[in-house]
Structure 1
């Protein structure tokens, strides 16, 4: 399965970072580019995240496009690189995605606390539920 162009950009950018401090700065920068949700509805809230996270998704031409938001800067960055990886996928590709592997490829998995990793998994599970319900 080939990577979406935004995911390849993320991989290239994070691969160029020699250490965690640079990756953390880059993550914050990616979070600033996150497209904001028009509104934060309780129905879009992701449960299972320590930080507050909202997620909405829509299918366009049989491919999924998500938007997400959080008040936490680091979480916004993680959401941005997650969306770079999943936006444009078919539901079957989304179901097969190994999110831990994606964060490992970016060099972020060792710095993901168990609660953040659990939160990102909750976001992916909600993406899968949305895609299966459609």
Structure 2
């Protein structure tokens, strides 16, 4: 069910055996992501439950879901990029059906993120699912 972009990340992770390399990879994904316009960093796009500041701006056009996001923490910005690879481009009706926990487990992130980061990641997934469900 994962997108080709997410499958690319899974494949890249398989080649990176060291977790420091994987963290660097995730951070690089975040750095490569275009910044979110400051005008979109408002309370309505802010995600509660994250230790760092996180903003997600969903856009649904012609039944297709995508979102942009940003964070003040590099690793979290990278996690947003990973979630964008997982969800962007899916039909909005498919977004709530994605088993994000299972897909992200393929990367082994759960064992290597702090509990605060894991909670923040779950909060981001919940926001994405909630927005998509409202528009499905």
TM-score > 0.5 by shorter chain = yes
Residue of structure 2 in register with 1:27 after alignment:
26
Contact 1:54/1:70 (<8 A) preserved: yes
Q: Which runs of 4+ in 1 moved over 6 A?
A: none
1:2-41 equivalent positions in 2, closer than 5 A: 3-39=2-38, 40-41=41-42
Q: Give aligned pairs, total.
A: 133
Residue of structure 1 in register with 2:93 after alignment:
92
TM-score (norm 1): 0.91
**Is 1:50 equivalent to 2:51 in the alignment?**
yes
**3-state secondary structure, aligned to 2:56:** strand
**3-state secondary structure, aligned to 2:93:** helix
Distance 1:122 1:51 in 2: 12
CA deviation after TM superposition for structure 1 residue 90, in Å: 2.3
Distance 1:112 1:100 in 2: 13
Distance 2:21 2:92 in 1: 33
RMSD between aligned alpha carbons?
Answer: 1.4
